[in-house]
């Protein structure tokens, strides 16, 4: 069960901090998350072939299933810098481990922001030397951490959930370059449940697949995407299936938060593909629709342009759909407005009503593509002039 609490509810045994070290401006840009003890850990990362140095180092550290701390900065992603980048990511772990008196292998590094600029290590060093002054187990500390990982996000993001005696807290950042593949943006999750990492890892993977892997802002895949889950075991054992359900809901809520706060976004699109004859068919059709610039702009303008859905369904060459079986359903259950080719032929489509439904902040659309029994849900967003503003002059 999700509780979108404000402020965030801390989880026992985890401390947080966020501060400014002056990497680019005066906003918070450096954060640390530290557990009081070694944790079972699970992590998934971007599938991008040229990942950032922190992803390379993080993959190695997380592979042992044990982590105790996360050190992260925003405003500079430490990507595309070869050996120098790797050395810097390792230094971040070593310095943090020294400050916390733990092993460097138990620290996961993470960086987000501009790609291709070297990390100002003197400033990172300053941040790490301040850990003792800032680290705390309060709502304010969590909020400061959530702010410190933001780039073009307009607000910090966190979600709480519980599962039996255990609590879950997740913090995330997103905003652009979002078309996850096996992972997403940055998302740091903690729990006091007691679960082994061999169970936690496939569980996190499943949760990511139907949450962060079902959203898209702009079809681009970040080089830094990372989702990490730390479990310190302080609340004892939990029912695994209840815990997984809570984890999925938490991830889905965070994923939707990310889309809604995407660059220039004015609308959340919830798209369901139904009637597909395979999961792959539903996935490919869903991605084609949710990523189509022509559909994104039409929804931005609340333009009931059904033809663009026909186009986007038709451009998935591997999975042909018959026009007679293609049906669009706009709106929630009790208000659904249907469009199909038969209704169009007979001039029975209520375009005015569809235009009203498209004008909402959350636009719900179901696309039936046949009589198969595979259904998948996706979350995406409209494409507005705000996206151009955010991205035309990002580094200058």
What the block records as the tokens of 309 is 């859905």
| Residues of this chain, 4-63, that bind a copy of itself according to CB under 8 A | 47-51
CB 250 within 8 A of CB 2: yes
Among 242, 310, 350, 353, which residue interacts with a copy of itself (rule: CB under 8 A)? 310
Considering only residues 134 to 153 of the shown chain, the ones binding a copy of itself according to CB under 8 A are: none
332 to 361: interface string for a copy of itself, x by CB under 8 A: ---------xx-xx-x-------x------
Min dist. Cβ of residue 149 to a copy of itself (A): 18
Hey, which residues between 242 and 301 contact a copy of itself (CB under 8 A)? 291-294, 297-298, 300-301
- Shortest distance, CB of residue 85 to a copy of itself, whole angstroms? 8
- DSSP annotation of 347 reads T
Strands (E), the chain: 2-3, 14-19, 30-45, 66-73, 107-111, 157-163, 166-173, 186-191, 226-231, 268-276, 327-330, 337-340, 362-368, 374-381
Out of 26, 101, 317, 361, the residue judged to bind a copy of itself by CB under 8 A: 317
Figure out which of the listed residues 3, 6, 84, 237 binds a copy of itself, where binding follows CB under 8 A. Answer: 84
Query: How big is the CA angle at 111 (ends 49 and 117), to the nearest 5 degrees?
Result: 80
**Do 292 and 380 contact (CB within 8 A), yes or no?**
no
Q: Which is nearer to a copy of itself, 26 or 393 (CB)?
A: 393
Active site residue 184: yes
Residue 381 sits in the site that holds a copy of itself (CB under 8 A): no
What residue has token string 């962060």? Answer: 212
Q: Which of 21, 184, 221, 223 is catalytic?
A: 184
Nearer to a copy of itself, 38 or 297 (CB): 297
Residues 209-228 touching a copy of itself, rule: CB under 8 A, are 218-223
Candidates 113-121, 190-198, 254-262, 267-275 — which segment interacts with a copy of itself by CB under 8 A? 113-121
CA separation for the pair 267, 394 (Å, rounded):
23
Six token digits for residue 36: 């009081």
- Euclidean distance between CA atoms 110 and 73, whole angstroms: 7
In sequence order, which ranges of 173-233 are alpha helices (DSSP H)? Answer: 197-209
Q: Which is nearer to a copy of itself, 145 or 306 (CB)?
A: 306
Q: Which residues are catalytic?
A: 184
């Amino acid at each position: 069960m999700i509780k979108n609490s404000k402020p965030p509810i801390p989880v026992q045994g985890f401390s947080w901090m966020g501060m400014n070290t002056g990497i680019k401006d005066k906003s918070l840009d450096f954060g640390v998350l530290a557990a009081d003890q070694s944790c079972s850990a699970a992590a998934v990362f971007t599938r991008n072939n040229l990942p950032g140095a922190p992803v390379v180092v993080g993959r190695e550290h997380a592979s042992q299933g044990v982590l105790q701390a996360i050190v992260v900065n925003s405003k500079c992603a430490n990507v595309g810098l070869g050996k120098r980048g790797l050395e810097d990511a390792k230094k971040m772990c070593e310095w943090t481990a020294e400050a916390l008196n733990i092993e460097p292998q138990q620290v996961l590094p993470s960086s987000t922001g501009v790609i291709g600029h070297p990390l100002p290590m003197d400033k990172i060093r300053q941040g790490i030397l301040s850990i003792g002054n800032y680290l705390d187990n309060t709502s304010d500390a969590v909020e400061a951490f959530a702010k410190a990982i933001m780039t073009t996000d307009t607000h910090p993001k966190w979600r709480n959930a519980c599962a039996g005696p255990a609590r879950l807290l997740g913090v995330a950042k997103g905003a652009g370059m979002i078309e996850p593949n096996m992972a997403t943006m940055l998302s740091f999750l903690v729990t006091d449940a007691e679960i082994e990492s061999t169970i936690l890892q496939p569980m996190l993977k499943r949760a990511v697949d139907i949450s962060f892997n079902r959203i898209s802002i702009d079809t681009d895949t970040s080089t830094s995407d990372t989702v990490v889950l730390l479990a310190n075991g302080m609340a004892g054992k939990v029912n695994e299936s209840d815990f997984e359900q809570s984890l999925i809901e938490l991830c889905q809520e965070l994923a939707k938060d990310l889309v809604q706060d995407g660059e220039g976004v004015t609308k959340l699109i919830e798209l369901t593909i139904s009637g597909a004859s395979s999961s792959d068919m539903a996935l490919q059709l869903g991605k084609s629709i949710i990523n189509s610039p022509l559909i994104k702009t039409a929804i931005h303008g609340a333009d009931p342009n059904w033809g663009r859905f026909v186009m986007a369904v038709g451009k998935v060459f591997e999975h042909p759909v018959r026009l007679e079986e293609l049906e669009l359903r706009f709106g929630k259950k009790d208000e659904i407005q249907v469009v199909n080719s038969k209704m169009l032929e007979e001039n029975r489509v209520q375009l005015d009503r569809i235009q009203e439904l498209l004008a909402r902040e959350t636009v719900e659309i179901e696309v039936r593509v046949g009589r198969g029994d595979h259904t998948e849900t996706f979350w995406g967003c409209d494409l507005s002039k705000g996206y151009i503003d955010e991205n035309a002059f990002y580094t200058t």
